[in-house]
Structure 1
Amino acid sequence: MGSEQFKRYKTPISGLMLGGVIGLIVAVALGSVLPWRPPPKKPDFAAAGDAPKTMFHAPSFNGFVNQQGQPVDSSAFKGKVLLVTFMYPYCTRVCPTLASRMVNLETLLRQRGLQDRVQLLSFNVDPEGAAPREMSRFMRQYGADPNSALWQFLTAPAALTARVLKRGFHADYRKIATDQLEQVFAQQRKDGTYHYVPSMRNPLADESHPDYAIIHNSSAIIVGVDGVVRYVLGDANTVSDAVMLNDIIRVLRKEGRA
């Protein structure tokens, strides 16, 4: 089956070829988006409209810890709608914006009394380079309270992380040495597929000076109470807090939770 994507804005992307998006993949390194790997069974990629769709089942998982080092497994979120994102603490492109989105959503959910019905989850795509300490610092520097249970940043050993994210959520990521990035960018410029994404300030990255970048999926996934993925918001760093909140509420209403 060909690589396929789905975006929220009433515009289905079906049959998108991997070659057509590979430039976007590399050009937004340090926090860029990799294409969605096709689920085992073809999901419904029709436009979302105002009703959530059935796409694929989110994976169950255990063996993860959160930003406080506390063990976490998927059973802890039973009965909740999940908003899932993918980040890493040294990211200077997409992740700072996504982190700010999560902080804003925490406030909006609490204002509407939905904090017990929704869970914000971010998965660390740099499990070998960043531990809970760095994850907690990353959250704090963008205004989050790492002690809050509403937004949790999860990490696990590399093999387990890859299994859950790549096979379960169909979200790719990979590490590239920084001294190889310009070579890749040059090829994308030659191909006419280079896509510039400005760097954002990340004090933790400034302090640590990592010699690598993680190219990763920048989508946000909304999972229903039944464990079925209902929305995939492509390039979630460009999606407003209001759109994310409205889609979460649509899923809650669809499942009788709002």
Structure 2
Amino acid sequence: MIGLLVAIALGGVLPWRPPPTKPDVAAAGDPPRMMFKAPVFNGFVNQQGRAVSSDAYAGKVLVVTFMYPYCTRVCPSLASRMVNLETLLRQRGLQNRVQLLSFNVDPEGSGPAEMSRFMQQYGADPADGLWQFLTAPVAVTERVVQQGFHANYEKIAVDAVDQVFAAQRQNGSYRYMPVMANPLADAAHPAYDIIHNSSAIIVGPKGVVRYVLGQADTVSVAAMMNDIIRVLQANKGA
């Protein structure tokens, strides 16, 4: 529900894997950087319940985000951006060179059915393979998302959210994010929220991360598209 770059839960910093040796942020509009190797993965299914692995996307530019179906703050905005990116990619004839991937950070509480409905709410066709929403067992998700992409997430009780915000204000990491419409969340009334990374990670065709766009819900679709094109045009093509 709450996408944060630096997440404070109940007064303590969420556990974080040591950052890669390469720079861990590349702002939209910067030249692409050689940052770190994206994780290889298998054991996931998409929003249609079909098994997928990183091999299926070999040679493509990946735009990776982190969401969950009951999210009411950052995810609706990110989902809208993915839908608009789909349109732009097709207009430019790039739909076969780029893959949009979202990893479900609530693998315990939601699966393909919820992921599919979430995508439909924001204008996506779940049968369209250009944007895929992936989920896996908890241990697999943690390995790929937290250890591989260095993207934190943490489930907390709903009644702990105010404590989290208070800790963030004291720490200086608080960022206001308005609640957005999510009919799926309204119907489910989950007893938890998930604090999660709000970055968009752009991976080059050879599996090297070229951009980590912080607070991607504030990055325009045009800026993301320009960065994708920069990666496609990069001489090293990594």
Q: 1:43 aligns with which of 22, 36, 45?
A: 22
Normalised by the length of structure 1, the TM-score is 0.83
Provide the residue aligned with 1:89 in structure 2: 69
Closer, same or farther in 2 for the Cα pair 1:60/1:214, shift >3 Å?
Answer: same
Closer, same or farther in 2 for the Cα pair 1:169/1:47, shift >3 Å?
Answer: closer
Provide the residue aligned with 2:46 in structure 1: 66
Paired residue total = 227
Normalised by the length of structure 2, the TM-score is 0.90
Does 2:4 match 1:33? yes
Provide the residue aligned with 1:9 in structure 2: none
Provide the residue aligned with 1:77 in structure 2: 57
After superposition, residues 230-241 of structure 1 pair within 5 angstroms as 230-241=210-221
CA distance, structure 2, for counterparts of residue 192 and residue 253 of structure 1? 38
Deviation at 1:194, TM superposition (A): 3.7
CA distance, structure 2, for counterparts of residue 50 and residue 34 of structure 1? 19
Closer, same or farther in 2 for the Cα pair 1:158/1:250, shift >3 Å?
Answer: same
Provide the residue aligned with 2:13 in structure 1: none
CA distance, structure 1, for counterparts of residue 70 and residue 177 of structure 2? 16
CA distance, structure 2, for counterparts of residue 127 and residue 76 of structure 1? 21
CA offsets 1:139-177 (integer angstroms, 9 cap, x no match): 000000000010000000001000111110000000000
Cα contact 2:4–2:215 (8 A) shared by 1: yes
Does 2:164 match 1:184? yes
- Between the aligned residues of both structures, percent identity stands at 70
CA offsets 1:172-208 (integer angstroms, 9 cap, x no match): 0000000111233334445565432110010000000
Provide the residue aligned with 2:9 in structure 1: none
Q: Which runs of 5+ in 1 are unaligned?
A: 1-29
Does 2:24 match 1:53? no
Deviation at 1:31, TM superposition (A): 2.4
After superposition, residues 16-31 of structure 1 pair within 5 angstroms as 30-31=1-2
Secondary structure at the counterpart of residue 42 of structure 1: coil
Does 2:110 match 1:139? no
CA distance, structure 2, for counterparts of residue 72 and residue 252 of structure 1? 24
Closer, same or farther in 2 for the Cα pair 1:198/1:62, shift >3 Å?
Answer: same
Q: Bigger relative contact order, structure 1 or 2, given CA contacts below 8 A and separation 6+? A: 2
Structure 2 counterpart of 1:42, one-letter code: T
CA distance, structure 1, for counterparts of residue 34 and residue 91 of structure 2? 28
Provide the residue aligned with 2:101 in structure 1: 121
Structure 1 counterpart of 2:69, one-letter code: P
Structure 2 counterpart of 1:87, one-letter code: M
Secondary structure at the counterpart of residue 2 of structure 2: coil
Q: Which runs of 5+ in 2 are unaligned?
A: 7-15
Closer, same or farther in 2 for the Cα pair 1:203/1:150, shift >3 Å?
Answer: same
Secondary structure at the counterpart of residue 117 of structure 2: helix
CA offsets 1:21-64 (integer angstroms, 9 cap, x no match): xxxxxxxxx2221447443x410468666421100000000000
CA offsets 1:2-37 (integer angstroms, 9 cap, x no match): xxxxxxxxxxxxxxxxxxxxxxxxxxxx22214474
Cα contact 2:24–2:212 (8 A) shared by 1: no
Provide the residue aligned with 1:26 in structure 2: none
Cα contact 2:60–2:204 (8 A) shared by 1: yes
CA offsets 1:193-239 (integer angstroms, 9 cap, x no match): 54321100100000000110000000000000110000010000000
Cα contact 1:31–1:87 (8 A) shared by 2: no
